[in-house]
Amino acid sequence: MASEKTQAIVIRLVEFSETSCVLTLFTEDFGKVSALAKGARRPKSAFEGALDLLALVRIVFLRKSSDALDLLTEAKLERRFRSAQRDLSRLYAGYYVAELLAELTDTGDPNRELFLAADQALLALDTGAGVPETILRWELEALRQAGHLPSLDACVVCGQPVTAAGRVPFGMAAGGVLCETCRPGRRGVVSISAAVANLLKHEIQRLEIAEAQAPIPPEVRGELRAVMASYVAHQVGHRLRMSDYLASQ
């Protein structure tokens, strides 16, 4: 068994026995990992209370070669997700970061950029950044890493330029806006406002050049959340549990 050291975000925590728990961790170097933490629920465990949901931790774990769970041997807390105690909307947003991370990734598929993006999103939520803006940046970054960014300025089927004015047809399954030729007969098409289409287009451009985000106007937040919840659901295969809790963001 190889012993590995890395940083990780705790994205799921399930009690396993009276003294142990099973963790899902998204690690900096090994992607998503499921590990058993023996004795973690004892008052004086080797993990010193580091194993909190959404905490950033430095871990040592033993990789099992078979289907067995990896074994967590050490965990040191680097940063707790403190918003949990302060603000429900930030807590839900944090859970959503974890849920999307868990759903979009396969076990043992390393992706350092995705790890850094999740870490940054949790830190932003904890340090007072705008909640709707942080959620959107995280979603777009996660979708980009997974190769699922929507197309907003060209028809996703034929590539013809589409200018959003008034309302524009958006294929949830197809993955972006549709021209008038490609729209008929296609399933899973909704009509989105030009305001939301353009906001998404500009935020994707900003993401790609690592530029700061623009504030999201309150009047488009409801529609934006509905569009993103449905879009993410189509990419993942089911609606995310936390989507409903973000509806008012």
Chain residues binding Zn ion by CB under 5 A are 155, 157-158, 160, 179, 182
C-beta of residue 61 within 8 angstroms of C-beta of residue 72: yes
Q: Are 23 and 35 in contact (CB under 8 A)?
A: yes
CA torsion angle for 97, 33, 115, 56 (degrees, to 10)? Answer: 80
| CA 96 to chain CA mean position, Å | 6
DSSP type of residue 161: B
Task: Give me the least distance between CB of 169 and Zn ion, in Å please.
Answer: 10
- 70 forms bridges with which residues in the sheet? 35
Cβ proximity to Zn ion: between 88 and 158 the closer is: 158
Task: Tell me whether residue 40 or residue 155 sits nearer to Zn ion (CB atom).
Answer: 155
Of 174 and 228, nearer to Zn ion (C-beta) is 174
Is the Cβ of residue 131 or residue 157 nearer to Zn ion in the bound state? 157
Give the span between the Cα atoms of 231 and 237, in whole angstroms.
10
**Considering the complex, what minimum distance in angstroms separates the CB of residue 243 from Zn ion?**
29
Distance CA 16, CA 160 (A): 53
Spatial strand order of the sheet with 167-171 comes to 176-177, 167-171, 189-193
Residue 66, classed as helix, strand or coil, is: coil
Rounded to the nearest whole angstrom, what is the least distance from the CB of residue 35 to Zn ion in the complex?
47
Q: Are 170 and 176 in contact, with CB atoms under 8 Å apart?
A: yes
| Minimum gap (Å) between residue 155 Cβ and Zn ion | 3
104 or 155: CB nearest Zn ion: 155
State which residue, 132 or 171, has the beta carbon closest to Zn ion: 171
**Tokens 């999103």 sit on residue:** 121
Closer to Zn ion by Cβ: residue 116 or 158? 158
Q: How far apart are CA 210 and CA 149, in angstroms?
A: 16
Distance CA 31, CA 121 (A): 17
Question: From the CB of 92, what's the least distance to Zn ion, in Å?
Answer: 37
Query: Could you tell me the smallest distance in angstroms from the CB atom of residue 152 to Zn ion?
Result: 14
Least separation in angstroms between residue 160's CB and Zn ion is 5
